Amino acid sequence: MENEPLLMLPGPVPIPERVRAAMTRQAINHRGAEFGAVYQECVDLLRPMFGTKNDLFVLSGSGTAAMEAAVANFCAGTTMACLVNGKFGDRLSEIGKRYGQVREIASAWGTPLDLEQLEEALEEGAGVVTMVHNETSAGMKNPAPEVGALARKHGALFVMDGITSIAGDLVEADRWGVDVALVGSQKCLAAPAGLSAISVSAPAWEQIADRRPFYLDLEAYRKSGAKSPMQTPYTPAVPLFLALREACRIIAEEGLDARIERHRRMSRAVRAAAGAWGIELFPVIDAVHAYSSTVTALKIPEGIGDADFRGAVKSLGVEIAGGQDHLKGKIFRIGTMGAVGAPEILAALGAVQHALARLGVPVEGDGVEAAAGVLG
Amino acid sequence: MENEPLLMLPGPVPIPERVRAAMTRQAINHRGAEFGAVYQECVDLLRPMFGTKNDLFVLSGSGTAAMEAAVANFCAGTTMACLVNGKFGDRLSEIGKRYGQVREIASAWGTPLDLEQLEEALEEGAGVVTMVHNETSAGMKNPAPEVGALARKHGALFVMDGITSIAGDLVEADRWGVDVALVGSQKCLAAPAGLSAISVSAPAWEQIADRRPFYLDLEAYRKSGAKSPMQTPYTPAVPLFLALREACRIIAEEGLDARIERHRRMSRAVRAAAGAWGIELFPVIDAVHAYSSTVTALKIPEGIGDADFRGAVKSLGVEIAGGQDHLKGKIFRIGTMGAVGAPEILAALGAVQHALARLGVPVEGDGVEAAAGVLG
């Protein structure tokens, strides 16, 4: 659209018109049947995206609120083994420190998690493992099934941040042994920012903390969720629920398998472009770690500045992301999340390719053509 | 509108079309200049409604989130004197108990607060006073200037829940000595549910807790708020900010004084109807307490059931509220909040008057006519 930048970020992502239009509904009483049906439909449609049959709640707060809800409700009474190889793993660990004992198992951002150290921590009695499934800060997918198996073997809870994987990549919370899983609305769901959802297993409920925060008290969510019509304990962000329902309906129409395959193909296309250009991908992967299929992190070529580079891309109407914290100026990231497809990928890669040329970066080949080959 | 119930509740309230339309904006990067300008304009327009020049933040969470933010950030290290004469005073006290020491000063719901007991608590060292300015559960306005003066006299912080008064009734936080004030979006602001705002005085900042929650950490809000462009620490509920800005613009266009006078007139009209019918108002007021100008609580006449009564009102397309908790079946409440005016008040009172007649309740006179006389 004229004058609208195309957001190719790891969230927020472009929101389909149907989803935005859903928010214009006049105010409804959130204790009534209409809102209850909206909430229930969101839950029913989200469960398969989580791969869970567990309790599931939608929180009126961002993904960070869901991270805190997970930690504050289920992790406070034990040692948390927090796996960290990026910004959001680090955030879970930071939140953990506000509530209890954290044993951080840190690798450099974008490098594999240390599962041997994790096993050691579990042997020494850590009661919870936290992990970010898709670490957007590094463009990396962490090994959820393997970590889930370790947690299960040692009887520990597994809290998995699926904020940027659920609804875009395969997540099988129940099969992998994930006790608490999270998603954010403005990522692969392609809904507006402001909501998150959290699933809770029976073993997690058994370990719920006695002293819980108030707004994020999941016991209160459980009680209100069991009412008929279904309710939230406090006033929900009603327009965002209406938008989320519409976003979930669109996902159901596409089909989850097709959506996951589309995300994988889009990220393969970006990686193919990087390969054609001769630009290195940032993450270091191994047999159990993988490149993210919802965001690709690439190294910024030598000799060009982040602001110049992304500015040149933006002058063509495309917003891509830079690196966060110590990766600022070192990497750039292209989101392949939500409702976007081949046109958006080609536009983004075309803009990047032009920016590289404008800044005098020699590239080996035609990245746009390489991506088109994957997408077509 | 056809098939749309008219919500005459103490929130949520009907949302003007301009406000709803503002949410259809395509996703924007919430770290960019456009969002920063939206947030800044919200803050600038909200400050006069709070009657404050203090720091002010918009939280992506309901009024309850703002209540918890107030308590968790500023009240944890001392004894809180919690004034309670209704459901929301009680909620502040409940939240207080999760974070620290509470000295509850409770009166029966809808009866005056005990300011002598408050003074005693302050003399004995309570460091914070919490009070709900407009207690919707009882249709009662509590004496903010008097409580503020007492808090100030004893050097205590004053946390005032203005969730249902700010933007509808006069609030002068700075003049009254309010250190932390709160508002909810779906009340007098006539914006959608899901946001709240909180103001923080310099003395409050001096007492900020060392150990704070994460999502509601106001120190993080302060840091991000000081950036240029203005930011929130975590992902904000962007469409709700766009809606809130539009709602604030509408309020600025009406003018705050005119808006306050309109709310007062609307509530006088409802009280005039009650007087004409011979139906008793619920709250017990004295020289410093007053009837709420944003919601009126009336006793349900003897011999009729709450469900039958409100069902009959609803059959005419109007939703009014019942009583909460132990007041269920004892009172009914009519909201006069936000963007409504004479037509909505007359519609609501006409529906109530008809429901009374249908259920065989003898009324003394014509309440609709009495209200029209006040509104005209």
* Cross-chain Cβ contact A98/B239 below 8 Å: no
Question: In which residue are the tokens 């070192």 written?
Answer: A330
- Cβ neighbours of A13 in B, within 8 Å: 27
Interface contact B98-A20, CB threshold 8 A: no
Whole-Å CA distances, A319 to A14, A297, A314:
11, 14, 5
List of chain B residues whose C-beta atoms are within 8 Å of the C-beta of residue A95: 214
Q: Residue B288 is encoded by which pair of tokens?
A: 């410093």
Round to the nearest angstrom and report the end-to-end CA distance of chain B.
23
pLDDT exceeds 70 at position A174: yes
ipTM for the complex shown: 0.96
Nearest residue in B to A66, CA atom: B215
Domain range annotation of chain A: 6-12+255-375, 17-253
Contact A68 B213 (CB under 8 A): yes
CA–chain centroid gap for B271, Å, is 19
Beta-carbon-side half-sphere exposure of residue A254 (alpha carbons within 13 Å): 21
**Which residues of chain B does A30 touch, with a Cβ-Cβ cutoff of 8 Å?**
12, 193
Sequential pLDDT tens for chain B (376 residues)? 457 899 999 999 999 999 999 999 999 999 999 999 999 999 999 999 999 999 999 999 999 999 999 999 999 889 999 999 999 999 999 999 999 999 999 999 999 999 999 999 999 999 999 999 999 999 999 999 999 999 999 999 999 999 999 999 999 999 999 999 999 999 999 999 999 999 999 999 999 999 999 999 999 999 999 999 999 999 999 999 999 999 999 999 999 999 999 999 999 999 999 999 999 999 999 999 999 999 999 999 999 999 999 999 999 999 999 999 999 999 999 999 999 999 999 999 999 999 999 999 999 999 999 999 999 9
Cross-chain residue pair B7–A23, CB shorter than 8 Å = no
Chain B neighbors of A62, CB-CB under 8 A: 60, 215, 234-237
**CA atoms of B78 and B99, how far apart (whole Å):** 10
3-state secondary structure of A295: strand
- The conformation of residue A120, written as its DSSP 8-state character, comes to H
B63 vs A7, A64, A235: nearest CB: A235
pTM for this one? 0.97
Query: Quick check: A186 and B27 CB within 8 A?
Result: yes
Name which of A5, A12, A211 is nearest B30 (Cβ-Cβ).
Answer: A12
CA nearest B213 in A: which residue?
A98
- Contact residues on chain A for B62, CB-CB shorter than 8 A: 60, 215, 234-237
Domain A6-12+255-375 grouped into CATH 3.90.1150.10: yes
Question: Residue A23: is it exposed, middle or buried by C-beta count within 10 angstroms (0-12/13-18/19+)?
Answer: buried
Check A215 against B62: CB less than 8 A apart: yes
Chains A and B form CB pairs within 8 A to the count of: 181
Q: Do B215 and A12 touch (CB under 8 A)?
A: no
Who's near B250: CB < 8 A, 6+ residues apart?
B16, B18, B19, B190, B339
State yes or no: cis peptide before B112, omega within 30 of 0. Answer: no
Q: Is the dihedral of CA A247, A252, A253, A258 positive or negative?
A: positive
Chain B residues close to A240, C-beta within 8 Å: 194, 237, 239-240
Contact yes or no for B202/B220 (Cβ under 8 A): no
CATH 3.40.50.150 assigned to domain A17-253? The reply is: no
- Whole-number Å distance between alpha carbons of B224 and B230: 7
CB contact under 8 A, B216 and A212: no
